């Protein structure tokens, strides 16, 4: 039976597939000590994890390494999360680290993250930062009296700005009492009320060593103080809550001192430069004023002041002429208008119209009188004619010729048929009345 031999590449690929397919190796939690670590700037990190009996190669890609909150060091015990796979070229297995944190301080990192989130929501990190005074007179330094921080600050300030007064407030910067001591000294600085700037500093260390500067009471004390605060805690890569709340963060104590004070020699040079520029500007301005004064003094305005008003006098004369001409034109125009109005008034004088109206009234009155007389005469004639006609038609006139009329019960009797025997009648004559009683009634045959 012939055996089939595999190539090294085929075997390696087979083993790699086994590693990648194993669900237990897809996410592995390890604890160990960092070995063979050498920091590679802006690159992937290669190192080993070991314990007393074994060692495994590790690789952490740049994207994951940049998210770390601490600086890995040789011999540091860490907790890592990653996956196990086989490196084909070397034929060795290794862990690809996705997350790493110092062993034993995971709870501290979690508490720090929660505190940062809380203070950030309250606005302590994004508040208005107080500006540092340009020329401070007194600077309060809150740090340990025996560390290198105070020496670096004193050396830097004396070199740059020796006229500033430095006052040290000895403070515990590590341990259980450190946070309370830092807060107490911040309040002491505020109570004195004579300091222009406050520097809070400490040297580098682990997260446990710097934890007092991550306490909430320290952050709130820094935020509430009215004095500008410079925080210089740990190394440049260490960022504490105090650094985030402070008005200015310095990478080192020396940098804090440089931020707090200017360079006296440079300021004096700047003052002398500005003084020189001010003097030159003043001399230039004075020269300009003298030249202007000379020009004005030799001007015709002062030598022959009458010439100043010649142009104005000519202008005034022309304006007077235009004014007179305008007044004359207005006068003539108004005069013509007034004459036209007077002529219209004369034409409409009521005296003539009254005289004409009076004549017309007299004429009409005479006509009315004449018509009245004619009317009365005509009416009188008509009245006489009517009287005569009425007189001719008067029953009395007829009765005067022997006629009479008979009434029965004051009703005129027009026919014999209206009468009966024994009716009482009244016979009316022109000169009186007669009462009679009917004895008999005889009717004409034709009437019957």
374-425, pLDDT tens digit by residue? 999 999 999 988 888 877 777 777 777 777 878 888 888 888 888 888 888 8
Let me know the angle formed at the C-alpha of 380 by 376 and 383, rounded to the nearest 5 degrees: 140
Q: Which fold has domain 8-104?
A: OB fold (Dihydrolipoamide Acetyltransferase, E2P) (2.40.50)
Per residue in 163-192, pLDDT (tens digit) is: 999 999 999 988 888 999 999 999 999 999
Distance CA 131, CA 229 (A): 9
Each domain of the chain, given as residue ranges in start order, spans 8-104, 130-262, 399-448
- Residues whose CB falls within 8 Å of the CB of residue 106, separated by 6 or more in sequence, listed in order: 79
Sheet containing strand 405-408, edge to edge, reads 411-412, 405-408, 424-429, 432-437
Per residue in 188-235, pLDDT (tens digit) is: 999 999 999 999 998 877 777 788 888 999 999 999 999 999 998 877
Instruction: Return the DSSP state at 410.
Output: T
What mean pLDDT do residues 117-141 have?
A: 90
> What's the sign of the alpha-carbon dihedral 402, 407, 411, 412?
negative
pLDDT at residue 108 in the model: 67
Per residue in 56-76, pLDDT (tens digit) is: 999 999 999 988 877 888 888
- Residue with the two structure tokens 């504490």: 240
And the tokens for 125? 């990190």
- Residues whose CB falls within 8 Å of the CB of residue 119, separated by 6 or more in sequence, listed in order: 125, 216, 219, 241, 244, 245
- Residue with the two structure tokens 């003097």: 279
Per residue in 75-103, pLDDT (tens digit) is: 888 889 999 998 888 888 899 999 988 87
130-262 carries CATH number 3.40.50.1950: no
Distance CA 167, CA 74 (A): 39
- In this predicted structure, the answer to whether residue 321 has a pLDDT above a threshold of 60 is yes
Least confident span in 246-250, 262-266, 338-342, 405-409: 405-409
Instruction: Return the DSSP state at 3.
Output: P
Instruction: Look at strands 138-143 and 197-202 and give their pairing.
Output: parallel
3-state secondary structure of 387: helix
Q: Which string of DSSP letters, residue by residue, matches 105-160?
A: -HHHHHHHHHHHHHHHHHTSSSSPPPPPPSS-SEEEEEE-TTSHHHHHHHHHHHHH
pLDDT at residue 83 in the model: 92
> What's the sign of the alpha-carbon dihedral 136, 140, 144, 145?
positive
pLDDT at residue 104 in the model: 64
Domain 130-262 in the same topology as domain 8-104: no
- In this predicted structure, the answer to whether residue 130 has a pLDDT above a threshold of 70 is yes
């Amino acid at each position: 039976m012939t055996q089939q031999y595999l190539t090294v590449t085929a075997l390696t690929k087979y083993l790699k597939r086994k590693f990648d397919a194993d669900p237990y190796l897809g996410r592995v939690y390890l604890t160990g000590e960092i070995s063979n670590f050498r920091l590679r700037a802006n690159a992937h990190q290669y190192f080993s994890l070991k314990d007393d009996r074994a060692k495994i190669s590790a690789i952490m890609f740049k994207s994951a390494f940049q998210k770390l909150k601490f600086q890995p060091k040789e011999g540091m015990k860490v907790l890592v999360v990653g996956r196990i796979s086989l490196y084909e070229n070397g034929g060795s297995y290794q862990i690809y680290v996705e997350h790493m944190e110092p062993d034993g301080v995971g709870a501290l990192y979690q508490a720090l993250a929660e505190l940062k989130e809380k203070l950030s929501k309250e606005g302590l990190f994004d508040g208005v930062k107080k500006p540092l005074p340009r020329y401070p007179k007194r600077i309060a330094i809150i740090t340990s009296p025996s560390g290198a921080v105070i020496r670096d600050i004193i050396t830097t300030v004396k070199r740059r700005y020796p006229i500033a007064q430095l006052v040290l407030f000895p403070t515990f910067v590590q341990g259980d009492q450190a946070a309370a001591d830092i807060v107490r000294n911040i309040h002491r600085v505020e109570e004195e009320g004579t300091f222009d700037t406050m520097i809070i500093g400490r040297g580098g260390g682990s997260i446990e060593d710097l934890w007092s500067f991550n306490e909430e009471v320290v952050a709130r004390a820094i935020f509430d103080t009215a004095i500008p605060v410079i925080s210089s805690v740990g190394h440049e890569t260490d960022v504490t809550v105090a650094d985030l709340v402070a008005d200015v963060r310095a990478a080192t104590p020396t940098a804090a001192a440089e931020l707090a004070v200017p360079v006296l020699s440079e300021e004096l040079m700047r003052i002398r430069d500005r003084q020189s520029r001010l003097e030159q500007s003043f001399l230039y301005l004075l020269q300009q004023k003298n030249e202007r004064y000379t020009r004005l003094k030799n001007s015709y305005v002062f030598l022959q002041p009458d010439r100043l008003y010649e142009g104005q006098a000519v202008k005034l004369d022309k304006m007077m002429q235009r004014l007179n001409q305008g007044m004359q034109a207005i006068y003539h125009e108004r005069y013509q208008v007034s004459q036209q109005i007077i002529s219209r008034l004369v034409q409409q004088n009521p005296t003539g119209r009254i005289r004409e109206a009076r004549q017309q009234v007299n004429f009409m009155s005479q006509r009315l009188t004449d018509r009245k007389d004619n009317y009365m005469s005509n009416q009188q004639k008509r009245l006489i004619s009517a009287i005569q006609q009425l007189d001719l038609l008067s029953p009395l006139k007829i009765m005067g010729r022997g006629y009479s009329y008979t009434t029965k019960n004051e009703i005129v009797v027009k026919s014999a048929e209206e009468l009966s025997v024994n009716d009482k009648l009244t016979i009316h004559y022109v000169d009186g009345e007669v009462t009679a009683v009917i004895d008999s009634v005889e009717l004409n045959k034709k009437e019957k």
